[in-house]
Chain A
Amino acid sequence: MKIVGGIGNGNLGFISAVLIIPSLGINAPIRFYIDTGASGTVIARKDAERVGIDKNKLKSLAVCGVGGMATAYALPKSLLAFRFTDCMHIEYVNSAMVLDSTAVGKQNYEAPSLLGIDVLKNYSIRYTKNQVIIEK
């Protein structure tokens, strides 16, 4: 089974998945950049607002990354629905969070959503010139 994604900004690979959060009534597609250096999957502020996640309903937590300390919001149990070449597949995600970009400035509004190692550990990843291929 494999997912074929694109190559975007900075020659980084990306794939799309539908984020499903039953307890919040969320069901919408998001583009995720592949980030094997991220310990967990992160939903960017722009995507969170677009799909209708209300961070005021979530528990806040302090996080630290290359941008320094920031506030994030833990998502309840979530699912990611991926489109493989021949079928759909669902991954359960227990530790995804919404990053509150206001902690690091307005410009960070453009930061992308990231697919972290919590999901990627189940896959092998390889790159071609124009594609990222994620296989299980």
Chain B
Amino acid sequence: MTELLLKAEEKKLKEFDSDLKWFQDNYTKLKKEYKGKYLAIKNKEVVDNDPNAESLINRIKNQYGDAGTFLIEFVSDRKVHYIL
């Protein structure tokens, strides 16, 4: 049971990381089309976008039943630096 559970988690992480890398690699291209918007990404594809993250997440939940495995990322019109 534990092994099955971890295989499921491993698959989720691989897909999530793959989408994250795709987003980073294609950021410049995505910025031209989606500047100022949040993107919902799944399987290296932008499935929806919205300037409001909450609206986007709710729409994904309504359409797909669950937003947990989608990557939700903001395409900023200016460079934002994290300082932790």
Interface of A with B (CB < 8 Å)?
6, 8-10, 12, 16-18, 20, 26-29, 31, 33, 35, 37-38, 46, 49-52, 81, 83, 88, 90, 109-110, 112, 114
Instruction: Say yes or no: B54 contacts A50, CB within 8 Å.
Output: no
Instruction: Say yes or no: B20 contacts A16, CB within 8 Å.
Output: yes
Contact flags B61-84 to A (C-beta < 8 A → 1, else 0): 100001111101010100011111
Q: How near does chain A come to B54, taking the closest CB pair, in angstroms?
A: 7
Chain B residue nearest to A20 (CB atoms) is B9
What CA separation (Å) do A17 and B10 show in the bound complex?
A: 9
Instruction: Say yes or no: B57 contacts A49, CB within 8 Å.
Output: yes
Interface of B with A (CB < 8 Å)?
6, 9-10, 12-14, 16-17, 20-21, 24, 53-54, 57, 61, 66-70, 72, 74, 76, 80-84
What CA separation (Å) do A29 and B71 show in the bound complex?
A: 9
Q: List 23 A-B contacts (CB under 8 A).
A: A9-B81, A10-B82, A10-B83, A12-B84, A16-B16, A17-B13, A18-B12, A27-B12, A33-B82, A33-B84, A46-B53, A49-B54, A50-B72, A52-B61, A52-B66, A52-B67, A52-B68, A81-B6, A83-B13, A83-B14, A88-B6, A90-B6, A110-B74
Q: How near does chain B come to A68, taking the closest CB pair, in angstroms?
A: 15
Instruction: Say yes or no: A29 contacts B13, CB within 8 Å.
Output: yes
Contacts of A31 in B (CB 8 A): 16, 20
Instruction: Say yes or no: A29 contacts B12, CB within 8 Å.
Output: yes
Chain A residue nearest to B19 (CB atoms) is A29
Instruction: Say yes or no: B9 contacts A38, CB within 8 Å.
Output: no
Instruction: Say yes or no: A109 contacts B16, CB within 8 Å.
Output: no
